[in-house]
A and B are shown apart, each in its own frame.
Chain A
Amino acid sequence: MSNAHAKAPTDRRDFLLKLGAGAGVAALTAQTAASLRSLVPNVSYDSPTTVKLGPPVDFPDGIKFLPDERLFVFRQGNTFHAVSAVCTHLGCTVRAEALANVQTVESGGGELRLTHRFLCPCHGSEYKGDGSNVSGPAPKPLAWYRLSVAPDDGQLVVDLADEVGTDFRLTLG
């Protein structure tokens, strides 16, 4: 009994020491966590992914490069499709280079006239006119994005968050 009585003050002191140290560690941890969390943005001020590109008549037959969207829009008669200009390797903007001989390939969505090829200035990746990767470090083809027509003013609209297959075509009546 006297033994336990003698030990009690030490225990309390010990307990308070642990409490104090624990509170200090907890406060520091919370501060660190809060500081790191504050660096994760809650609101994105990035540009929207759905963008109006202009009326279809502005697009000539063939290819048009839209630098702001980093996008190539292709027109063959009254069908349209859009291919990304962002290299799948490390995100540089690829450049289109006109081919001497136009090739025609068959794809899921119909005949495709390949007038250009795409080259990346950063690491030399090369893509065919349909976006498929041919050589260089690029691991996969350029993305194709969904095109549609704005219901209010009839402009072409691209959805940069909506990737589609190479059989996608927007056909205007």
Chain B
Amino acid sequence: MRLPLSSRKAEPDAPGVRPQMLWSLSPRSDREAGDAIASNFMFHAFPAKVSKASMAWNYSFWLGTISAALFFLLILSGLPLLFLYVPSVERAYQSVKDIEFVITFGSWIRAVHRIAAHGMVIAVFLHLVRVFLTGAYKNGVGRGQHREWNWVLGVVMLLLTLFLSFTGYLLPWDQLAFWAVTVGTNIASSIPWVGATVREMLMGGRTIEQATLIRFYVLHVVILPLALGVIVAYHMWRVRKDGGLARAEHETLAERPIDTPVVKTKTYTLLGVARGQAPVIRAQALEAPDTTVNAVPDLVRRTAIATLGTFAVISIMAVFIASPLEEPANALVTPNPAKAPWYFLWLQEIVTDTTIRIGSFTVNGAFVGGVLLPGLLIGLLTAWPWLDKSSHLATGVWLPRVRARQNTVFLLVVLGILILTFIGMALRGPYWYFYWPWEAWPDIPARI
């Protein structure tokens, strides 16, 4: 039985044990702020206190939070689609057409799902770029830090995000879907020795048929989201264990322990007074009241702004941007030009340009550009924290001078990928010929 309000004690006896349904978002003391974290299921992933600097909008741009918000939104918008979509080659296209044109709010839900998916590819990629440019995968001064592993997890999550997009791409079973998957699975089959087996396992046969659709569907709705969800949780846990964002590290390095005056909310022992630790306390910067804030309400408020802001932007965009649906999949006619989804266009551009001929010996560009080069790039990206020998003082700093060279190379690679993507998007016409944007494409008969 609950006591009437007036007779309850103002301060709880122990944190986290109050039988209370709601918690305070405007705590009156540090104790109450900590209590709000400890007694809340949603907030238990947060620290009780967080450094002001790592909350700055212009340090992280909150790209990780935005990526997570998009992932959450994708799960939310995916649920109604799960009820409406039928994963069969006879009915998939019709069911997507129904979602688009018949079902109330169907086209909006599909647009939210699609735009959030594109947005997630962008957000995750930008998050990776931000972490690289700030050297946030580096360990600072804290004990037992292994930030490099969180970087590796990040690379894995980028790949999972791309693979989630790719598997979702096939589901409408239209021309775009069918030929994108033809090209994608043929890239897999160009791996020497195991390629044909990999392709057959992915497709459940030698042609893109029902077995392929159901495999991509199960990967898209069960296996990949589950894997991503688990890794996201582990990623967050690791951030906590490594002492928060790398920016906090920088703050600890920059500031000396400072004397802080006695405050009401801390407990001071007699022994501490005798040893001279009280009433003037030597505190590390991270614990100093002027460099940190309570997670409730400051961190909660900013997380809410980033998350709800993402939801709002996507929801509004989905009203104005319609999702395309091409003709039903037709194995007999390859569209001309046949383009991959935009985030794979740089790969399509590379596989076009990398067939190597040495005398009579030829290596298929599908293998060089589709497997070897991206594999090398991902391998290098994964191993980078161990190759980067710069000082730990460069941890969590935007574009420090000691990392100028590697940041330049990294940005050039990113720029190269963006340029190739642009060429694929805007400058390729029928038969993948090069056309300037102002040049008209020639009329090509649909059939011979």
A121 touches B432 (CB 8 A): yes
For residue B390, CB closer than 8 A to chain A, the reply is: no
Question: Which of A39, A47, A93 is the one whose CB lies under 8 Å from B334?
Answer: A93
A121 touches B430 (CB 8 A): yes
- Contact residues of B between 394 and 448, Cβ < 8 Å to A: 430-433, 444, 447-448
Q: Residue on A with the closest CB to B444?
A: A95
- Contact residues of A between 28 and 62, Cβ < 8 Å to B: 39-41, 44-47
Q: Complex: how many Å from CA A123 to CA B345?
A: 11
Q: Complex: how many Å from CA A88 to CA B363?
A: 12
Question: Which of A70, A90, A95, A124 is the one whose CB lies under 8 Å from B186?
Answer: A90
- Contact residues of A between 136 and 159, Cβ < 8 Å to B: 136-140
For residue A89, CB closer than 8 A to chain B, the reply is: yes
Q: Complex: how many Å from CA A52 to CA B278?
A: 96
Chain B residues within 8 Å of A70, by CB: 332
A45 touches B209 (CB 8 A): yes
B179 touches A40 (CB 8 A): no
Q: Residue on B with the closest CB to A63?
A: B448
Question: Which of B179, B205, B335, B363 is the one whose CB lies under 8 Å from A45?
Answer: B205
B432 touches A123 (CB 8 A): yes
Question: Which of A65, A68, A137 is the one whose CB lies under 8 Å from B351?
Answer: A137
For residue A77, CB closer than 8 A to chain B, the reply is: no
- Contact residues of B between 189 and 204, Cβ < 8 Å to A: 190, 200-201, 204
For residue B338, CB closer than 8 A to chain A, the reply is: yes
Q: Residue on B with the closest CB to A67?
A: B332
Q: Complex: how many Å from CA A68 to CA B431?
A: 21
B352 touches A123 (CB 8 A): yes
For residue B24, CB closer than 8 A to chain A, the reply is: no
> CB-defined interface of A87-103 with B at 8 Å, one 1/0 digit per residue?
01111110111100000
Among B179, B200, B207, B448, the one with the most A-chain Cβ atoms within 10 Å of its Cβ is B448
B448 touches A65 (CB 8 A): yes
- Contact residues of A between 100 and 122, Cβ < 8 Å to B: 116, 119-122
A41 touches B183 (CB 8 A): no
> CB-defined interface of B298-337 with A at 8 Å, one 1/0 digit per residue?
0000000000000000000000000000000000111111
Question: Which of A45, A88, A120, A140 is the one whose CB lies under 8 Å from B431?
Answer: A120
Q: Complex: how many Å from CA A130 to CA B261?
A: 89
A92 touches B334 (CB 8 A): yes
A11 to chain B, nearest CB (A): 37
Q: Is the interface of A mostly helix, strand, loop or mixed?
A: loop
> CB-defined interface of B109-141 with A at 8 Å, one 1/0 digit per residue?
000000000000000000000000000000000
A124 touches B352 (CB 8 A): yes
For residue B388, CB closer than 8 A to chain A, the reply is: no
Q: Residue on B with the closest CB to A47?
A: B207
For residue B366, CB closer than 8 A to chain A, the reply is: yes
Chain B residues within 8 Å of A95, by CB: 334, 336, 431, 444, 448
Q: Complex: how many Å from CA A97 to CA B448?
A: 7
> CB-defined interface of A2-39 with B at 8 Å, one 1/0 digit per residue?
00000000000000000000000000000000000001
Chain B residues within 8 Å of A68, by CB: 332
B315 to chain A, nearest CB (A): 36
If the complex has contacts A46-B207, A119-B431, A122-B337, are A90 and B182 also in contact, measured as CB distance less than 8 A?
yes
Q: Residue on B with the closest CB to A126?
A: B431
A92 touches B211 (CB 8 A): no
A124 touches B205 (CB 8 A): no
A65 to chain B, nearest CB (A): 5
B351 touches A92 (CB 8 A): no
Among A91, A95, A122, the one with the most B-chain Cβ atoms within 10 Å of its Cβ is A122
Question: Which of B190, B207, B337, B447 is the one whose CB lies under 8 Å from A121?
Answer: B337
Q: Complex: how many Å from CA A121 to CA B336?
A: 5
A92 touches B338 (CB 8 A): yes
- Contact residues of B between 19 and 59, Cβ < 8 Å to A: none
A44 touches B205 (CB 8 A): yes
A99 to chain B, nearest CB (A): 12
For residue B362, CB closer than 8 A to chain A, the reply is: yes
For residue B177, CB closer than 8 A to chain A, the reply is: no
If the complex has contacts A39-B204, A41-B211, are A91 and B352 also in contact, measured as CB distance less than 8 A?
no
B204 touches A122 (CB 8 A): no
Chain B residues within 8 Å of A92, by CB: 179, 182-183, 334, 338
Question: Which of A46, A67, A89 is the one whose CB lies under 8 Å from B355?
Answer: A89
For residue B365, CB closer than 8 A to chain A, the reply is: yes
Q: Residue on B with the closest CB to A88?
A: B364
B333 touches A139 (CB 8 A): no
Q: Complex: how many Å from CA A66 to CA B149?
A: 54
- Contact residues of B between 352 and 405, Cβ < 8 Å to A: 352-355, 362-366
Q: Complex: how many Å from CA A25 to CA B211?
A: 31
A46 touches B206 (CB 8 A): yes
B182 touches A121 (CB 8 A): no
- Contact residues of A between 67 and 87, Cβ < 8 Å to B: 67-68, 70
For residue B348, CB closer than 8 A to chain A, the reply is: yes
Among A39, A121, A136, the one with the most B-chain Cβ atoms within 10 Å of its Cβ is A121
Chain A residues within 8 Å of B179, by CB: 92, 122
B334 touches A121 (CB 8 A): yes
B141 to chain A, nearest CB (A): 40
If the complex has contacts A90-B182, A90-B187, are A39 and B430 also in contact, measured as CB distance less than 8 A?
no
Q: 30 A–B contact pairs at CB < 8 A?
A: A39-B201, A40-B200, A41-B200, A45-B209, A46-B205, A46-B206, A46-B207, A63-B448, A65-B448, A67-B332, A67-B333, A89-B351, A90-B182, A90-B190, A91-B186, A92-B179, A93-B332, A95-B336, A95-B431, A120-B431, A121-B337, A121-B430, A122-B179, A122-B183, A122-B337, A122-B338, A122-B348, A123-B352, A139-B362, A140-B362
Those 3 A-B pairs whose CB atoms lie nearest each other, nearest first: A124-B432, A121-B336, A67-B332
